[in-house]
């Protein structure tokens, strides 16, 4: 059994932080494609750290054009699919 040093643990934490999940509205392909986010999901804007609550998912029938309507106290925000890379699940 390996004994972990504080440096080993710090590396593990940093690695886990880098593997945070990005925001994806749909999963699967073709007929098996499903919406995988729902109202109430908390998402975080990576650059600013601001947290938003998902209100509604707006998407085309084939999930090719997705938008999510989110809010935080005093502000509502419509996020387009090309901006999803800037957000992650909280």
Q: Per-domain residue ranges for the chain?
A: 6-89
> 6-43 pLDDT, tens per residue?
777 766 655 554 444 555 565 566 666 555 567 888 88
pLDDT digits (tens, 9 = 90+) for 48-82: 999 999 888 887 766 667 788 899 999 999 988 88
Torsion of CA 5, 49, 56, 40, to 10 degrees: 50
Is residue 86 pLDDT above 60, yes or no?
A: yes
pLDDT at 72: 92
Cβ contacts of residue 82 below 8 Å, gap of 6+?
none
């Amino acid at each position: 059994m390996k004994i972990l040093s504080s440096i080993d643990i710090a590396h593990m934490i940093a690695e886990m932080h880098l593997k945070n999940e990005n925001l994806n509205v749909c999963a699967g392909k073709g007929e098996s494609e499903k919406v995988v986010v729902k109202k109430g999901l908390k998402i975080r804007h990576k650059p600013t750290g601001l947290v938003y609550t998902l209100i509604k998912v707006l998407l085309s029938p084939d999930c090719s054009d997705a938008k999510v309507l989110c809010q935080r106290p005093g502000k509502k925000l419509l996020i387009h699919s090309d901006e999803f890379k800037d957000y992650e699940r909280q």
